[in-house]
């Protein structure tokens, strides 16, 4: 089982009447090859190929009625569907995986709860996303709980819930990894922006963006750049804001995330009345329009 994606449920091992553990099941070469191909495609940033391979792995896991494999590869499939900007499909996969686990007497696990919450958030169902994230936050997986706190902080900020944002920041007060530090920095930047501490917000947001870039989390990096842009705009620095919105929009567009890219690029066009930056933003918007036709 992939340790990073391990189930948080414990399964009882069936034993023979002689008291010895049952032998391990024979190695399933077909399953192993699908998983290996999926991992390779994911590492090469080919999410659609990874999706196809994880779907094959999941079908094989069902064929062998392997609850651990169903949980692992169902979760992996949700993750790559989110990477491929397919939140609707990711939500369906998360719920299907949960049902498959329950059917076999196992419960869902915190990382799956978090993945489902993320899909709901991207689909705009913020209340359901917050409820599911709260489940992950209360679970036994510390990494999933910390990430769930960050997601709840995003939701609180977008809802204008300052106390909720403060609570999320408090839960991330002692980050234990680079991604948690980036999460804390981004929420700090959002809080400072709300408090009109614009310089502090820019600093924290750019710090988060730099960390996410090093972690190859380009979606998170682009979002942090947009927070820095909003702070520069709040400070009255329209040109600096335009440049940051352009950078955020170009990154999102390159990732196929048109829903995020469009508003950021439109902001860049509106703020940059002429010059190369406006031209670059208009070109990126035109490319998005062409891709959607």
Q: What is the CATH number of the domain that holds 270?
A: 1.25.40.10
pLDDT value of residue 26: 53
Q: Are 250 and 288 in contact (CB under 8 A)?
A: no
Answer yes or no: is 93 within a domain.
no
More confident residue, 93 or 272: 93
- How many domains does one find in the chain? 1
Q: Is residue 120 part of a domain?
A: no
In a domain, 271, yes or no: yes
For residue 139, give every residue at least 6 positions away whose Cβ sits within 8 Å of its Cβ, in sequence order, or none: 8, 109, 110, 113, 145
- Tell me, yes or no, whether 234 lies in a domain: yes
Out of 4-18, 97-111, 267-281, least confident range = 4-18
Using the predicted structure, report yes or no on whether residue 20 has a pLDDT greater than 70: no
Q: Is 212 among the domain residues? A: yes
Query: What residue numbers bound the domain in which 250 lies?
Result: 174-293
In whole angstroms, what separates CA 282 from the centre of its chain?
28
Non-local CB neighbours of 57 within 8 Å, separated by 6+ positions: 31, 34, 35, 38, 69, 73, 76
- Is residue 210 one of the residues assigned to a domain? yes
pLDDT score for 149: 98
pLDDT score, position 272: 81
3-state SS assignment for residue 251: helix
Distance CA(67)–CA(168), nearest Å, equals 33
Burial of 226: CB neighbours in 10 Å, binned 0-12, 13-18, 19+: buried
| Lowest pLDDT segment from 4-8, 152-156, 281-285 | 4-8
Read off the DSSP letter of residue 140: S
Lowest mean pLDDT among 10-14, 172-176, 267-271: 10-14
Given a cut of 90, is residue 44 above it in pLDDT? no
pLDDT digits (tens, 9 = 90+) for 181-201: 999 999 999 999 999 999 999
If you average pLDDT over every residue of the chain, what do you get? 89
Residue bearing the bigger pLDDT, 4 or 168: 168
Residue 114 lies in a domain: no
Query: 21 pLDDT band (50/70/90 cuts)?
Result: very low
Taking the whole predicted model, whether its pTM rises above 0.95 is answered as no
Tokens standing for residue 41: 């495609």
Q: How far apart are CA 293 and CA 291, in angstroms?
A: 6
- For residue 15, what is the DSSP state? B
C-beta pairs of 204-211 under 8 Å, 24+ apart in sequence = 205/231, 207/182, 208/182, 208/183, 211/178, 211/179, 211/181, 211/182, 211/185
- Region 255-275: mean pLDDT is 91
CB atoms within 10 A of CB 218: 17
Backbone angles phi, psi at 5, to 5 degrees: -115, 20
Contacts of 169 (CB under 8 A, 6+ apart): 153, 184, 187, 188, 191
Instruction: Kindly state the greatest CA–CA separation across the chain.
Output: 82
Residue 283 counted as domain residue: yes
Phi, psi of 160 (to 5 degrees): 75, 20
Contact 132, 145 (CB under 8 A): no
For 87-117, write each residue's pLDDT tens digit. Answer: 999 999 999 999 999 999 998 899 999 999 9
Tell me: pLDDT of 8 over 50: no
Partners of residue 264 on adjacent β-strands: none
């Amino acid at each position: 089982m992939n340790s990073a994606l391990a189930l948080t449920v414990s399964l009882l091992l069936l034993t023979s009447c002689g008291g010895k553990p049952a032998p391990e099941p024979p190695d399933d070469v077909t399953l192993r090859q699908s998983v290996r191909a999926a991992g390779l495609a994911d590492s090469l940033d080919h999410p659609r190929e990874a999706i196809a391979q994880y779907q094959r792995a999941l079908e094989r896991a069902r064929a062998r009625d392997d609850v651990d494999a169903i949980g692992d590869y169902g979760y992996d499939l949700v993750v790559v569907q989110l990477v491929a900007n397919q939140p609707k499909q990711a939500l369906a996969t998360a719920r299907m995986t949960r049902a498959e686990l329950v059917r076999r007497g196992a419960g869902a696990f915190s990382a799956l709860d978090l993945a489902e919450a993320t899909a709901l958030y991207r689909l705009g169902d913020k209340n359901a996303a917050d409820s599911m994230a709260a489940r992950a936050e209360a679970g036994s997986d510390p990494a999933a709980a910390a990430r769930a706190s960050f997601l709840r902080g995003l939701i609180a900020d977008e809802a204008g819930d300052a106390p909720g944002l403060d609570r999320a920041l408090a839960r991330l007060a002692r980050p234990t990894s680079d991604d948690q530090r980036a999460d804390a920095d981004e929420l700090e930047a959002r809080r400072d922006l709300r408090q009109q501490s614009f310089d502090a917000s820019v600093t924290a947001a750019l710090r988060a963006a730099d960390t996410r870039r090093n972690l190859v989390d380009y979606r998170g990096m682009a979002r942090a750049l947009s927070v820095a842009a909003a702070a520069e705009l709040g400070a009255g620095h329209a040109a600096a804001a335009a440049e940051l919105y352009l950078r955020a929009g170009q990154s999102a567009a390159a990732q196929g995330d048109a829903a995020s890219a469009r508003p950021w690029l439109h902001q860049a066009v509106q703020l940059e009345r002429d010059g190369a930056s406006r031209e670059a933003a208009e070109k990126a918007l035109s490319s998005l329009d062409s891709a959607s036709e």
